[in-house]
Amino acid sequence: HPQATLEDLDRPGVDDEPNSVQEHYDDGYQYQNIFGPLVKMESDHDKKMKESQTQDNVFVRWDIGLNKKKNAIFTSNRPDADFRLVPGDEIRLRLGGGSAMVYGKDWEGTGHVLRLDESEVTLEMRNSHVPVEITDGYCVDFVWKATSFDRMQSAMKTFAVDDTSLTGYLYHKLLGHEVEMQTFRTKGHAATGLSVPGLPELNPSQLLAVKGVLQQPLSLIQGPPGTGKQNNGQVLVTAPSNIAVDHLTEKIASTGLKVVRLAAKSREAATEPECLIPIVQGAKHVVMVGDHMQLGPVVMNKKAAKAGLNQSLFDRLIRLQHRPFRLRVQYRMHPCLSEFPSNMFYE
């Protein structure tokens, strides 16, 4: 390696390759033993990458937001192409000599990214006591959070040890075991129809998908580009991007149902351990909507990606011969334009 150092030779396990993901797993413990180290590798890489992005001598201009909170606005120079800053990320501002002259001590404060406008970052500060009279000489630290990685590790542990975290049927299906097919009674939905007030009528492939998922504990709905992928019980609906969540919230709310929206960073397709987080909350009925022919999970650590962390659960279930319901009507482009990707990439 051209950039290797002598210290690298003494690092234990530097050349060790992690165990690759499999299609079938003996039990939840084997699943955890394979995915756990991969998530740890990605976590360590993400932490190192974010904490290495400190910027010095940054010019900051101050503003007051509509909520009366102080906003710091600065230009971010992000040389690392792998580094992605998104709204909600936490950033720390630090001042040395400049604040010492004004306050008699060094100053630092944290906030979250409110807006991104090309290279300009708007940071909403947590504390109102900020040195607005000083505009230069700031250090910018990108604060790393372990929350999402900790939740993945916790979900895998729960999957392995807690029999009540999901049904036995779902447990064995997710491990790739051969199990006898189960079906639900649909309580006469076929007779009464599946029209929902406030929403357009379903097209034939959507209707087939809805009828199918109502009868199966585990279902996949495959939606090629533009096909519209997006009662007294509680239903958890998750999506890997803010845009998808916005669309789901709008459509569900238009039916008159009460919707509580929780959003996080915009992401590509979820990794398999990420998908496990909502499933182990006691799931009895799981519907996965996606398209394994489009962009998969983004994994920054090359060894973890090579070992298969960049493979989605949707993709693995497809390869285990779990047949998806395919949406066939697209609403995004002229049929002549959609014909090429349909014939080229889909059966």
Residue 271 pLDDT: 92
Of 4-13, 48-57, 146-155, the one with minimum mean pLDDT is 4-13
Whether residue 93 is found in the same domain as residue 234: no
**pLDDT per position as a tens digit, 50-60:** 888 888 889 99
Instruction: Specify if 32 maps to a domain.
Output: no
Q: Rounding to the nearest 10 degrees, give the CA dihedral for residues 298, 304, 308, 312.
A: -30
> Higher model confidence: residue 21 or residue 213?
21
Asked whether the predicted pLDDT for residue 201 surpasses 90, the reply is: no
Residue 64 has pLDDT above 90, yes or no: yes
Mean pLDDT of the chain: 82
Q: What is the pLDDT of residue 191?
A: 44
- Higher-confidence residue of 11 and 42: namely 42
pLDDT at 253 over 70: yes
**Same domain for 185 and 322?**
yes
**Residues 208 and 98 occupy one common structural domain:** no
CA separation for the pair 118, 126 (Å, rounded): 23
306 and 200 within one domain: yes
The rounded Cα 30 to chain-centroid distance in angstroms is 24
**Any idea what the CATH number is for the domain that residue 255 is in?**
3.40.50.300
| Residues 158, 114 share a domain | no
In this structure, the answer to whether residues 316 and 294 fall within a common structural domain is: yes
Number of domains in the chain: 2
Same domain, 202 and 285: yes
Q: Are 68 and 162 in contact (CB under 8 A)?
A: no
Residues 88 and 168 in one domain: no
Percent of the chain with pLDDT over 70: 76
**Percentage helix, strand, coil, to 5, in the chain?**
35, 15, 50
Is 72 part of any domain? yes
Query: Phi and psi (nearest 5°) for 294?
Result: -100, -165
179 and 298 share a domain?
Answer: yes
Q: What confidence score (pLDDT) does residue 233 get? A: 59
My answer on whether 293 and 320 are in the same domain is yes
pLDDT at 185: 78
Is residue 53 one of the residues assigned to a domain? Answer: no
Domain end, chosen from 136, 158, 175, is at 136
> Can you give the CATH number for the domain in which 64 is found?
2.40.30.230
For residue 127, what are the domain limits?
60-136
pLDDT at 141 over 60: yes
